[in-house]
Amino acid sequence: MTFDARALRDAFGAFLTGVTVVTTVDDAGSPIGFTANSFTSVSLDPPLLLVCLAKTSRNYATLTRARGFGVNILSEGQKDVSNTFARPVEDRFAAVQWQAGPFGSPVFDAVAAWFDCAMHEVVDAGDHVILLGRVEGFDNSGKTGLGYARGGYFTPALAEKSLLANADGSLLLGTVAERDGAILLVDDGKGGWTLPFVEKAEREGMEALEAHVAADFGPALQTGLLYSVYEDTKTGRQHVVYRASLGEGVLKAGRLFPLEALPTNDVADGAVRELVRRFAQESTLGNFGVYFGNQEKGRVHAVAAKG
């Protein structure tokens, strides 16, 4: 069966992906790189990933005979980097801060994550080849990745800003702040524990939550993806809770509890209790969802995987 190539490409484009820049060095040791969204993790043992490369690419010969390659997963503020490496720019690498990774391929600063790989196998795949890489080094910054679908960029932050801007009534921002396999719980004022929450003023966004945690508890907070949206029907208050990474430093208040030893019996708020229980369960699998509903009933949409 023969398909219209453009129509098939558009259908493939319905799948939401991240955006990467694939890199290596040529025979002269000069860096090369190109934007790609055909990236997939393959295996943990051994640690393998893949990217797809068109046979018509001007980088085809260099990549297919390279000893290895790097994959830089762009963060949501790096649309310009994606555009630069997607165009025939003379010196693409002038647009980024980069260094050689542990295996020698260029890895970028400020990305969501990077992987430096040895070439494991090159697999013929129609008008493309599949580059299977064995991970020799990686780094995960905790930043949220840049998204791409149907020919355009999207970022979780834009969607969440819209959510916050259109929320009616009183709204509390909260966080499941994780550090080294433990989450931050704080005094609920009644002898028990809860998550950090702050009331959002009309013109504030996620930065209000980060400022609150830094001011009241000490370490900096790096807000990640949305985790729970629910209304407390008894008080009429909306709650928007994010996953987050808690920075280093001594806590001024609150306590870090290991995920395997959470004091759920001492969390009086039923919605918060179920939220932290779910987070602990999902952490064991590395798959996280987003809850929508109220304090008693709702639905978890499984949409994200742990890096």
pLDDT digits (tens, 9 = 90+) for 149-196: 777 776 655 555 555 554 545 688 899 999 999 999 999 999 999 999
What is each CA distance from 104 to 36, 122, 130, 188, 194, in whole angstroms?
20, 19, 20, 50, 46
Tell me the per-residue pLDDT of 217-226, one tens digit each, with 9 for 90 and over: 989 888 878 8
Superfamily, domain 5-153: Electron Transport, Fmn-binding Protein; Chain A (2.30.110.10)
Instruction: Note the pLDDT of residue 99.
Output: 96
Strand pairing report for 182-187 and 39-44: unpaired
Residue 159 pLDDT: 52
pLDDT of residue 306: 41
pLDDT tens digits for range 16-41: 788 999 999 999 999 999 999 999 99
Using alpha carbons, select from 243, 216, 217 the residue that is nearest to residue 228.
243
pTM for the model: 0.58
What pLDDT is attached to residue 39? 93
* 1-15, 59-73, 99-113: segment of lowest average pLDDT: 1-15
Read off the pLDDT band of 304 (50, 70, 90). very low
Q: Is 124 helix (H, G, I), strand (E, B) or coil?
A: strand
pLDDT in tens, 126-144: 999 999 999 999 999 878 7
Which one, of 296, 302, 191, 290, lies nearest residue 234 by Cα?
Answer: 296
CATH class of 156-305: alpha beta
62-76 per-residue burial string, b: 16 or more CB within 10 A, e: under 16:
bbeebebbbbbbbbb
First CA to last CA distance, the chain: 38
**Of the candidates 60, 52, 31, which has an alpha carbon nearest to the alpha carbon of residue 126?**
52
Task: Report the share of the chain in percent with pLDDT over 90.
Answer: 52
Residue 48 has a pLDDT of: 96
CATH 3.90.79.10 segments of the chain: 156-305
Q: What angle do CA 91, 57, 101 make, to 5 degrees?
A: 55
**Omega before 196 cis (within 30°)?**
no
Residue 252 has which token pair?
Answer: 């001024």
Residue 202 has pLDDT above 70, yes or no: no
| pLDDT surpasses 50 at 230 | yes
Q: What is the DSSP letter of 210?
A: H
Res 235 pLDDT > 70 = yes
> What's the confidence (pLDDT) of residue 136?
96
Which range is least confidently modeled, 12-16, 71-75, 92-96, 256-260?
12-16
Residue 204 has pLDDT above 70, yes or no: no
Q: What is the pLDDT of residue 277?
A: 94
Q: Is the pLDDT assigned to residue 303 strictly greater than 60? A: no
pLDDT of residue 156: 59
- Give the mean pLDDT of the chain: 86
Is the pLDDT assigned to residue 113 strictly greater than 50?
yes
Chain Cα centroid distance, residue 295: 27
Q: In terms of C-beta density within 10 A (0-12 exposed, 13-18 middle, 19 or more buried), how is residue 252 classed? A: exposed
Residue 295 pLDDT grade (very low, low, confident, very high; cuts 50, 70, 90): confident
| CB-based burial label for 284 (10 Å; 0-12, 13-18, 19+) | exposed
For residue 242, what are the β-bridge partners?
Answer: 175, 226
What values do phi and psi take at 57, rounded to 5? Answer: -65, 140
Q: Is 305 left (phi over 0), alpha (psi -120 to 50) or beta?
A: beta
